[in-house]
Structure 1
Amino acid sequence: MKKTWLLLLLSTATFAQDIHFNSILVDTHNDCLTACIEKKVSLDQDLTGINHSDLARFKKGGVDYQLFSIWCDGEKANPYAWAMREMDSLYAVAARNPDKMVIAKSWKDLNRAFNENKLAAQFGVEGGHMIESDLKKLVTFYDRGARYMTLTWNNSPGWASSHADEKNPAYQGYKGLTDFGKTVVKKMNQLGMIVDISHVGEATFWDVINTTTKPIIASHSNSYSVCPVSRNLKDDQILAIGKNGGVIHLNFFSGFVDVDFFKKDAAFRKNHTAEIDSLLKTGMQTEYAFTVISDKYPQESDAIKPDLEQLMKHFDHIVKLIGVDHVGLGSDFDGINSAPKQLKTVLDYPLFTQALITRGYSDKDISKVLGGNFLRVYKANNLD
């Protein structure tokens, strides 16, 4: 009996590998460019034990198409200049590795990358503050390969309100999209830059739904019903995204997977306050100081992580509401200090595929989730 069970387990794992590596895998959100700058390393180095990702491990994990997050927090001076630095860093990696990756600016470029077995790379601008309220800068982002923009990060750019500000009683700014904010959305539709509603507040979300003429995405968000935090999407929002034809890409961050994680993480950080403060004094952004400490104490940080099955509860809930055509992957790797225990790095994506097989999904549906759903939204937004 034990031998039969073991053979079945091995057979399932092999089947998962086959489906996984024969599908186009798209991850809509990875922060490794920021992580590389903060840690003073390069993406084309072996970053095992340093980052969740590097160029070689994308290939080994089956990633075919990565949208690289361009991010800085709301405190960073000259966010547009910082964004250009991050984009320059990926262009430099691409120039050094023309046999391994291509920055794709068209559907033709994407197909060429897939056919030549190279990583297709594009950018996602994480936070509307990075355009500095200038539509010309938005166009520059697009021209350089940005194919979506998250309208807000946790801060509000002045023309759209974030989830964090909308729930803050002290926030005195405009809630939702201002007239300029609606102009930004319309310009994005015109350019072919996908509107991303991860991080936005509910007022902004509904203004987007009533303004956009193209399918939208949540590049890295989960279900509020499963994990009630303001970064996750409520059921009426999920239903609206389904009606819009958009896609919700699952975020691996433990705190958006399991609400109990935050208390455990607070205790972990308290135990390492002095080390975190020391990193902050060097100028490191707060999010990355937490990540460095989590990596330094893996046994402690692993002990408080949720299981992969908890992430799959988000998947199941979204599929129940709007179907398998509206879910994808937006890991947030290298922008988070904790993910489900089984999903430690980009090498672990096949385990997600195996979880889909265990649930009985067909090859066709699994390929949709891994990348096909995003590709549909990309085509609906772009005329290239």
Structure 2
Amino acid sequence: MRKFLLALLGLGGIALAAFLIFGPAWFDKQTNMVDGKPLPEIRAEAQELHDSLMIVDLHGDTLLWKRKITDSVDYGHIDLERLEAGNVGLQIFSSVTKTPKGQNYDSNSADTDNITALAITQLQPVRTWFSLLERQLYHAQKLDKAVAASGGRLASISQPAHLDRLDKSIGVLFSAEGLQTLEGDRANLKKLYGAGMRMAGLVHFFDNELAGSMHGIEKGGLTDFGRTIVRDMEQMGMIVDIAHSSHATVADILKMAKRPVVSSHGGVQAVCGVNRNLTDAEIRGVAATGGIIGLGYWDGAMCDTDPATVARAVKHVRDLVGIEYVALGSDFDGAVTTRFDTSGIVHITQALMDAGFSEAETRAVMGLNALRVIRAGLVPLSAPGAPAKAGDQPDRDDRTTDAG
């Protein structure tokens, strides 16, 4: 019996080891997929234009998974080789630190968390297992290590002058999907800034101490702590991202914003009536700050994965407020299924051409709009000559919006 029990324990240890080695990659493959549906052949003129573009993607979640950006793999959506194949000039990598069990777009409690189990099975440092702040700082270190290991093919972007490197390297910028990582401490924002964070959404799939989420229980607006953090972000040169925010939070941020505001990834309700997508009033509000709306490629943003639908969303924003307020926000590696990975972004270029967009409009959407806003947003508000949006003024109680 003793030998039998020892054998069982041995088999259990082997099974556990196999799970820890192969399980994270298996889960990644089942979570970040390409649907394999037909795509049109890329025409020579579309490829030629695409190869000349500066392309910026406002949102990718690759740091969440147990793979290195510098590793070439045959699953997921983003790695260095595929960024180069897609002619991406700047990729923003967001840090996901907590997601609720049974995650959905309608209503989620903050009481559960899937990422703790993921951190443990990925054998991340123990400090990340039970601290959201440490989890986010670990993601910052992963990004720094990828840059160091890239042999100059990647370059960290944390100040406007760094954007001048993009003709030699692919820029990477660190962002956050929810600032629950502050753990209620204002001082932790400076720690994240020191780790390279230059963009952050206040919430993810649940309400937190800063604000209400579109997918939370209460879906309220900014708290006093949230208002303080928005002011701090603008002051230090960290771009405010309204993705996943409740309508009330979006309205509160747009009312107080002194800098361009970004919606890093999502869609528009006029094309896809999912609750997380922006209303026309919210689109107008973002444009009024001089900001941009990053459009994603997955079903939850577009109600399908056809690149032509992304072009429809671009057209809606252009016709409503102007072409200068549209950008790309793929949500690649964000537990989504898309029609193509980052090597295939040329399909968006061709879809814009097919929809009748001019070369100048296509260049703006694919990256130049985002580059403009990022360059402005990285300058601390107190810096001499700091750019600000048109009509910059203190919290604008006189501004009206029907958002929310």
Moved more, 199-208 or 145-154: 145-154
Specify the structure having the higher radius of gyration (Cα). Answer: 2
Name the SS of the counterpart of 1:220 in structure 2: strand
Q: Is the 8 A contact 2:180 2:208 kept in 1?
A: yes
Aligned to 1:274: none
Residue 333 (structure 1) shift: 0.5
Partners of 1:54 and 1:13 in 2: CA distance: 25
2:149 to 96, 110, 119: 96
Q: Given the alignment, which residue of 22, 44, 48 partners 2:52?
A: 22
**Which whole-Å CA distance do the structure 2 matches of 1:28 and 1:119 have between them?**
13
Letter of the structure 1 residue corresponding to residue 81 of structure 2 = A
Name the counterpart of 2:377: 381
Name which of 151, 154, 167 aligns with 1:115.
167
**Corresponding residue of 2:331:** 332
1:68 equivalenced with 2:93 (yes/no): yes
Residue of 168, 176, 190 corresponding to 2:235: 190
Give the Å deviation of 1:320: 1.5
Q: Take 1:337 and 1:380, find their aligned partners in 2: how far apart are those partners?
A: 30
Contact 1:253-1:336 within 8 A present in 2 as well: no
| Aligned mates of 1:345, 1:219 — CA distance in 2 | 18
The Cα shift of 1:212 comes to 1.2
TM (norm. structure 2) is 0.74
Instruction: Measure, in 2, the Cα distance between the counterparts of 1:66 and 1:144.
Output: 17
Q: How many residues align?
A: 313
**CA 51–353 in structure 1, closer or farther in 2 if over 3 Å, else same:** same
Match of residue 365, structure 2, among 361, 369, 382: 369
Quote the Cα distance in structure 2 between the aligned partners of 1:186 and 1:337: 32
Q: Secondary structure at the match of 2:345?
A: helix
Where 1:378 maps in the other structure, the secondary structure is: helix
Equivalence map 1:229-244=2 (5 Å): 229-244=274-289
- State the superposition RMSD in angstroms: 1.8
Are 1:133 and 2:159 counterparts?
Answer: no
How far is 1:62 from its partner? 0.7
Distance of 1:227 and 1:115 partners within structure 2? 36
Task: Specify the alignment match of 2:388 in structure 1.
Answer: none
Tell me, yes or no, if the aligned pair for 1:129 and 1:156 is still in contact at 8 Å: no
SS of the counterpart of 1:352?
Answer: helix
Q: Which runs of 5+ in 2 are unaligned?
A: 1-39, 100-112, 117-129, 381-404
Contact 1:30 1:332 in 2 (8 A): yes
Take 2:43 and 2:187, find their aligned partners in 1: how far apart are those partners?
49
Query: What SS does the corresponding residue of 2:273 show, helix, strand or coil?
Result: coil
How far off is 1:363 after superposition?
A: 2.0
Instruction: Point out where structure 1 has 5 or more consecutive residues left out of the alignment.
Output: 1-8, 259-304
Give 1:19 shift: 2.0
Contact 2:297 2:305 in 1 (8 A): no
Pairwise CA distance, 1:355: 1.1
Counterpart in the other structure of 2:71: 45
CA–CA distance in structure 1, aligned partners of residues 60 and 88 of structure 2: 11
Residue in 2 aligned with 1:199? 244
Query: Which amino acid is 2:192 matched to?
Result: F
Q: Shift in Å at residue 379 of structure 1?
A: 2.5
Distance in 1 between the 2:207 and 2:151 partners? 38
Q: CA deviation at 1:180?
A: 1.4
After superposition, the C-alpha distances for 1:11-54 in whole angstroms (9 at most, x for unaligned) are: x822222222222111010011112x2xxx22211112x22111
- Aligned-residue sequence identity (percent) comes to 30
Tell me, in whole angstroms, the C-alpha distance in 1 between the residues paired with 2:251 and 2:226: 13
Spell out the pairing of 1:271-290 with structure 2 (5 A cutoff).
Answer: none
Q: Residue 84 of structure 1 corresponds to which residue in structure 2? A: 137
State the Cα deviation string for residues 139-177 of structure 1 (Å, max 9, x = none): 222222222101100112222000012xx4xx3xx8211
Query: Partner amino acid for 1:310?
Result: T
Provide the rounded CA distance (Å) in 1 between the counterparts of 2:316 and 2:270.
8
Equivalent residue letter for 1:346: T
Following the alignment from structure 1 to structure 2, what is the Cα–Cα distance between the partners of residues 79 and 140? 13
Q: CA deviation at 1:208?
A: 0.2
Q: Distance in 2 between matches of 1:228 and 1:115?
A: 38
Distance in 1, Cα, partners of 2:341 & 2:246: 29
Q: What's the TM-score once normalised by structure 1's chain length?
A: 0.78
Task: Give SS of 2:98's match.
Answer: coil
Q: Which residue type is aligned with residue 127 of structure 1?
A: G
Deviation by residue 1:48-92 (Cα, 9 ceiling, x = unmatched):
2x2211111101111110110111224244111111111111111
What is the CA-CA distance between 1:244 and the residue it aligns to?
1.6
Supply the distance in 2 between the matched residues of 1:367 and 1:316 (Cα, whole angstroms). 14
Counterpart residue identity of residue 43, structure 1: I
**Residue 135 of structure 1, CA deviation:** 2.4
CA offsets 1:222-256 (integer angstroms, 9 cap, x no match) = 01122112210111111111122110000122122
Q: Deviations over 1:263-299 (max 9, x none)?
A: xxxxxxxxxxxxxxxxxxxxxxxxxxxxxxxxxxxxx
1:227 and 1:47 mapped to 2: Cα distance?
32
Partners of 2:368 and 2:203 in 1: CA distance: 26
Q: Is the 8 A contact 2:311 2:355 kept in 1?
A: no
Q: In the alignment, which of 172, 177, 181 is matched to residue 222 of structure 2?
A: 177
2:170 maps to amino acid: L
For residues 209 and 267 of structure 2, the distance between their equivalents in structure 1, rounded to whole angstroms, comes to 25
2:210 corresponds to:
159
User: Is contact 1:148–1:194 with CA below 8 Å preserved after alignment?
Assistant: yes
Which position in structure 2 is the counterpart of 1:252?
A: 297
Structure 2 CA distance for aligned equivalents of residues 162 and 17 of structure 1:
39
Distance 2:179 2:45 in 1: 41
- 2-structure distance, mates of 1:58, 1:375: 17
